[in-house]
Amino acid sequence: MSEESEPTYTALEIVEEFFPATPARLIPRERAYRLERDDAGAVRVVDAEGFERLVMTPIERTGAARDQLCCDLCHTSSPREHLHMLRSEVPGSAGRRFRYLMACRDTEACEARRLDDAAVEVLLRLS
């Protein structure tokens, strides 16, 4: 007796089929960049070929731990203790100018929640 295999569907196919009115901005798109945390705590932006495009280093936390903040990368809102401020040096500034970004401390979870590369692309254009 031959057993027929059940068809499988991607999450995107399910959303498009059963929730066709979902706004396009809420549908995850293919991303060209990924975020990785190194042993020193810095967050690296790596492109699809594995080339490091940007390194953002954490800066010391200030303010009340109960304050709600928003991650600039995945747009989740959390208490300050779950987020941190990162900075990256502007090329050619000899360490005198920096770009700042609020990001989740849990880089893997942030990466899973990010819907697109829009915030990363802005950082790369400004760098």
pLDDT, averaged across the chain? 87
Question: Tokens 């500034």 appear where?
Answer: 93
- Evaluate whether 125 touches 38 at the Cβ level (below 8 Å): no
**pLDDT tens-digit series, residues 78-104:** 999 999 999 988 877 888 888 899 999
pTM of the full structure: 0.75
Q: Is the pLDDT of residue 127 over 70?
A: no
The pLDDT tens digits of the residues spanning 48-71 come to 999 999 899 999 877 777 889 999
Mean pLDDT of 13-35: 85
| pLDDT tens readout for residues 30-52 | 789 999 998 888 999 999 999 99
> Which residue, 52, 53, 113, is CA-closest to 82?
113
Query: Cβ(52)–Cβ(44) under 8 Å?
Result: yes
